[in-house]
Amino acid sequence: MKTQNWEELDVPLSEPVLETLQELRFDTMTPVQAACIPLLLKGKDVAAEAVTGSGKTLAFLIPVLEILQRRPDKWKNTEVGAVIITPTRELAIQISEVLANFLNKIPSLKQIILVGGTTVNEDIEKLKNGANIIIATPGRLEDMLSNCKSINLTKCLKSLEVLVLDEADRLLDLGFSKTLDVILSYLPRLRRTGLFSATQTKELQQLIRAGLRNPALVSVKEKANISTPLSLKNNYIIVQAEEKLPTMINFIKLKGINLKYMIFLSTCACVEYFNHVVQAMLPSTQIFALHGKMKKKRYKIFDEFRSVEAGILICTDVMARGIDISEVDWVLQYDPPSTASNFVHRCGRTARSGHEGSALLFLLKNEDAYIDFIKRNQKVDVEEIKLEVSMDTVRKCLQCMRDLQLKDRQVFDKANRAFVSYIQAYNKHECSLILRLKDIDLGKLAMGFGLLKMPRMPELKGRDISSFIAPQIDFNTITYLNKNKEQIRLEKLNEFRNTGVWPGKTKHKRKQTESWTETKQRKLEKQEKRKKRKEKKKVQQEKGIVPIKKKKRSITSEDLEELAKDVALIKKFKRKKISQEEFDTAFGVS
């Protein structure tokens, strides 16, 4: 990337900002910073598109700080001058950390962070203590604006100078469009707005038209039609379903366990399960697991992974956008991402800020067309690499997964949930024309998950799963290591054996079978009861106890013809084609 010094900006920066940049060793600007900072400082709205890892955070934080410092009147304690909205709490915390470095030298300004994982009352107390810059996720900010009567946040935002939507395309991908509309309705129109994203979409263009006034469009790419950094090497490997995990483990051992890896999986359940498996197969490596369903634990795990020199983070696409983790050596995409744009964002967790990095995508044999799709859709060149894995390694990997499940029923449950969630996610894939579930050998896929038995699910109906080889064991003998859970399971199992119904699942009672003679006898008994009821009713009607219901006379065709004649006579009378006397005579009125 072409860089230039901060002193070369048309608009000079304040001393605290320059000093902090020097301390953080940001000696030069990246192209996106050089393009966006002057525009925002000159009062323009900006919609910026730049490759991931290009320095977008400083491109909006520096203008925010400069604009707020230059206001003639001092900012009041609860007067908010800037709002920064991000799609995830990890990204919000990361921006907050970068901003904190600058605010150490600007004591007149305060920031707060409004994200999930804390109570609304805690956030209200933060606001009451004062803030000039808010960093928030959309859901929590909308909640604070719409539902919190104890603090008038709308009043605090009356003097808003700058609104920033970071990872704006991701905000829309996650379904925050209506939430953003609500937030924008509370904000003053006379403000500067910056939209920063790695990709441009139709939805984003609609948001630009709705939320920005005559914006300056900035598109910064390293090379024409390239959406990933030049320092990033993209690779892919074709594997069999049952050889996928052994190949990945072999690859990590080959490259070295002293490196930093991020492994992307398609679902939260897959992360939960494969976290146990990878830990067992690489015992001397630090393994971290992170997905969207984690609450307060998420940031702690994220922070621990950022601080280690070597380790593996197994995660979902919650970590695919905007997250800055220093010197990730390899991004391993174990599953194809749910959207084409997420392919680029996953890869962008490495090769950041000029560093070199590599990414590897694992594909099944039926998924090879995905490479051509990525090349056309995202303009990314991906090179194939080959890695042989022995059958002995495949068997050891399978045995390791099955041993983990046999030792603890909780891992057995997680393995089944992971398999089911993977198939359901695959069925809903954006590239369903290329990645088709019917092309996958589900038996081999189940072997790749190390399943002990095939779960019951509609997607398996009518499918050939003969390639799945189940171990000959009694599944009721697999126990939970957690003693309380095991005690509850044994009580339920005992009740099931006695009643044929699993406790808590009354809707799915085992159907009790009966012989043909029993069924016929029950039918005759019903007929006899019906006959007796009719006879009893007839006797009561004869005695006058129950009134006899008169049958309604059905309308005949003669009745309909007569009614039609009457209607015709009424119409004639209204049109004065017949006299009153003729009308009365026709209807028999004297």
Number of residues that make up the chain: 590
Q: With bands split at pLDDT 50, 70 and 90, how would you rate the model's confidence at 508? A: very low
Whether 532 has a pLDDT exceeding 50, the answer reads: yes
Q: Please state which of the ranges 164-178, 183-197, 218-232, 241-255 shows the lowest mean pLDDT.
A: 218-232
Query: What residue type is 178 in one-letter code?
Result: K
Whole-number pLDDT of residue 509: 46
Tell me the pLDDT band of 286, cut-offs 50, 70 and 90. Answer: very high
Mean pLDDT computed over 128-133: 92
Which two tokens mark 103? 């605010």
Distance of CA 418 to the CA centre of its chain: 16
Interatomic CA distance for residues 162 and 172, integer angstroms: 20
Alpha helices (runs of H) in 131-201, residue ranges in sequence order: 138-147, 153-156, 168-173, 177-186
Q: What is the rounded average pLDDT of the residues 6-21?
A: 88
Rounded to whole angstroms, the Cα distance separating 328 from 355 reads 9
Residue 535: the pLDDT is 85
If phi > 0 it is left, if psi is from -120 to 50 it is alpha, else beta; for residue 504 that is left
Amino acid in position 255: K
| Residues 320-357: tens digit of each pLDDT | 665 667 678 899 999 988 877 778 778 877 755 556 78
DSSP sequence for 67-105? HHHT-SSPPPTT---EEEE-SSHHHHHHHHHHHHHHHTT
pLDDT exceeds cutoff 70 at 130: yes
Highest mean pLDDT (candidates 2-6, 136-140, 530-534) = 136-140
Do the beta carbons of residue 427 and residue 433 sit within 8 Å? no
Q: Give me the residue label for tokens 């029950």.
A: 522
Say yes or no to pLDDT of 168 above 60.
Answer: yes
Q: What residue type is assigned to position 153 of the chain? A: L
Query: How far apart (Å, rounded) are the C-alpha atoms in residues 584 and 281?
Result: 103
- The whole-angstrom distance between residue 93's C-alpha and the CA centroid of its chain comes to 19
pLDDT bin (cut points 50, 70, 90) of residue 555 is low
Residue 553 has pLDDT above 70, yes or no: no
Q: Is the pLDDT of residue 108 over 70?
A: yes
Q: What is the mean pLDDT of residues 127-138?
A: 93
Q: Which pLDDT score is estimated for 104?
A: 94
| CA distance linking residue 68 with residue 79, whole number of Å | 11
Which contacts qualify for 530-536: CB closer than 8 Å, 24 or more apart? none
Task: Label the pairing between strands 162-166 and 260-264.
Answer: unpaired
Residue 563 is inside which H or E element, if any?
A: helix 557-574
Statement: residue 1 has pLDDT above 50: no
Q: Is the pLDDT of residue 554 over 80?
A: no
What would the two tokens of residue 62 be?
A: 């520096």
Find out whether 133 and 64 touch, Cβ atoms under 8 Å.
yes
Q: What is the pLDDT of residues 477-502, one digit of tens each?
A: 999 999 999 999 998 888 888 887 88
Q: Which residues of 478-504 are buried (b: 16+ CB within 10 A; e: fewer)?
A: bbbeeeeeeeebeeeeeeeeeeeeeee
| pLDDT tens-place string over residues 54-90 | 788 999 999 999 999 999 999 999 899 999 999 888 8
Cα distance between residue 265 and residue 77, in whole Å = 44
3-state secondary structure of 555: coil
* 494 φ/ψ sector (left φ>0, alpha ψ -120 to 50, else beta): alpha
Model confidence at 250: pLDDT above 90? yes
- The gap from C-alpha 548 to its chain's centroid, in whole angstroms, comes to 66
Write the DSSP assignment of 298-349 as a string of letters. HHHHHHHHHH-SSEEEEE-GGGSSS---TT--EEEESS--SSHHHHHHHHTT
Residue range 375-387: mean pLDDT, rounded: 86
Q: What mean pLDDT is reported for the chain?
A: 85
Phi/psi at 335 (5° precision): -125, 150
**What is the C-alpha R_g of the chain?**
35
Beta strands (DSSP E) in 365-499 are 383-384
Among residues 241, 243, 232, 233, the alpha carbon closest in space to that of 387 is found at 243
Q: Name the range with the highest mean pLDDT among 6-15, 125-134, 373-382.
A: 125-134
Asked whether the beta carbons of 341 and 219 are under 8 A apart, the reply is no
Tokens of 295: 């609450």
For residue 99, give the nearest of 140, 136, 58 by alpha carbon.
Answer: 58
Q: Which of the four pLDDT bands, split at 50, 70 and 90, describes residue 395?
A: very high
Q: Which residues contact 463 (CB under 8 A, 6 or more apart)?
A: 442
Q: How many CB atoms lie within 10 A of CB 99?
A: 22
